[in-house]
Amino acid sequence: MAGVGLCSCVALSGCSSQIADMPSLEADAAARPKEQSGYLPVNDVPRDRETPIMSLEERARIEKELRAARDRQASAGTAVRDR
């Protein structure tokens, strides 16, 4: 008999989350705010850029600077290792 009561309690508790989300029948009931999820809505897209993207010349210059910095660090690392 206790097993039947326990099973019915477990079965009914599964429905409680759906019942809690149902709108209230009372006219003066306070509206519950829905939880904000960590994800943006599907149609919420970022604004267009106010600044233009990089030009090809600027990108080439930055890539050249990064390659030079990488080469300097690589040569400094081999000099330390050779000691």
DSSP string, 23-34: PPS-TTPPPPPP
As for how many domains the chain has, the answer is 1
Give the Cα separation of 61 and 53 in Å (integer). Answer: 14
Domain assignment of residue 40, yes or no? no
> Cα(64)–Cα(73) distance, rounded to whole angstroms?
14
21 DSSP assignment: T
Residue 80 inside a domain? The answer is yes
Say which residues have a Cβ less than 8 Å from residue 54's Cβ, sequence separation at least 6. 62
pLDDT of residue 26: 62
User: How confident is the prediction for the chain on average, in pLDDT?
Assistant: 75
Q: Is residue 34 part of a domain?
A: no
pLDDT at 17 over 60: no
pLDDT score for 9: 62
CA distance 53 to 58: 10
Domain presence at residue 11: no
pLDDT higher than threshold 60 for residue 36: yes
* Structural domain harbouring 72: 56-83
| Region of poorest pLDDT, from 3-7, 57-61, 74-78 | 3-7
Q: When comparing pLDDT for 52 and 36, which is higher?
A: 52
Q: Is residue 72 part of a domain?
A: yes
pTM summary value: 0.38
In a domain, 24, yes or no: no
